[in-house]
Amino acid sequence: MSTILITGASGFVGSTLFGMAARGDLDGPHRFAPLPDSVDLRQPDGVQRALEAAEYDAVLHLAALSFVPESIERPSETYAVNLHGTIHLLEALTKRGFKGAFLYVSSGEVYGAVPAEALPVTEERAPRPRNPYAASKLAAEAYCCQASTTSSMRIVVARPFNHIGQGQSERFFVPAMARQIADIKQGRCAPRIEVGNMDVTRDFSDVRDVVHAYLRLLAQGRPGEIYNVCSGIERNVGDVLRRMLELARVDAAIEVVAGNVRPNEQRRHCGSNRKLCDDTGWQPKIPFEQSLRDLLRSGTPTL
């Protein structure tokens, strides 16, 4: 039975993974070992000590500062965690003589603005990040790909697109809408939802499908390769919100507020998952409507 070390274990994806493991919802005989939250990836000595005390056969590196507006306000800290933290982790693994699989979780944000005629975006497209979060992720990707050419580790990079599910921060669109709908349904606020630009599209995956994709990449991803993790389906966010209201049986006014509209926002976005599917056999399993129902049910148990 292999042991997989998880960084960022208390985050959205990490918490989902441990919950799935506890319920027996994961394939394969795995054990999962969380890197303690007290380990600061910005401190190389602390990372080295933590790894010396752990036993593991593979590493899933989830830990990151991932909220785009926060990265704009705090770019130095974003780079310190996302880039330098990754370097410190790989350096510590190298010193220990680690020879297993290492999956670096980057982001589909690295592609930046993609013209509609280039959708769905593939891994062959040159990245052009438009914010410090995406730039820090791309920098760490470059380090991982370079390290894969000289390291005894099997280093693979994942570029996940938007993913949703229970436990996601309400700083993100879909869980924020789910919370507002729950509040309206339970009479805690007026039936009105304030939004930004609803005429945009995104590629949403269920976080549970994303977890399965990461485990497949640890087992079967080709070293030095980059893989989109996405549904391959383009969805209009306005339609998503309206469907959530229908599922919750809530009647509410949707009001576009100028302060919520992001300037220079990517209007359409969708990725290709063909490379991931071809190399690992992964396929998304959870229907999008089920993802929405499960998320709404977590805020409104009577739904």
Q: Is the peptide bond before 120 cis (omega within 30 degrees of 0)?
A: yes
Dihedral angle, C-alpha 89, 92, 98, 103, nearest 10 °: 10
The answer to whether residue 123 sits within a structural domain is yes
Residue 170 lies in a domain: no
Global pTM reads 0.95
- Whether 189 is covered by a domain: the verdict is no
* Residue 119 belongs to a domain: yes
Q: Is residue 179 part of a domain?
A: no
Q: How many domains does the chain have?
A: 1
Output phi, psi for 145, to 5 deg: -65, -40
**Residue 67 within any structural domain of the chain:** yes
N-to-C CA span, the chain: 39
pLDDT digits (tens, 9 = 90+) for 121-172: 999 999 999 999 999 999 999 999 999 999 999 999 999 999 999 999 988 8
Does residue 58 fall inside a structural domain? yes
Q: Answer whether 104's CB lies under 8 Å from 158's CB.
A: yes
Provide the pLDDT confidence category of residue 1 given band limits of 50, 70 and 90. Answer: low
Does residue 41 form part of some domain? yes
Tens of pLDDT, residues 210-258: 999 999 999 999 999 999 999 999 999 999 999 999 999 999 999 887 6
Residue 79 domain boundaries? 2-165+203-234+269-285
CATH number (domain holding residue 121): 3.40.50.720
Please tell me the distance from the alpha carbon of residue 250 to that of residue 168, in angstroms, as a whole number.
Answer: 22
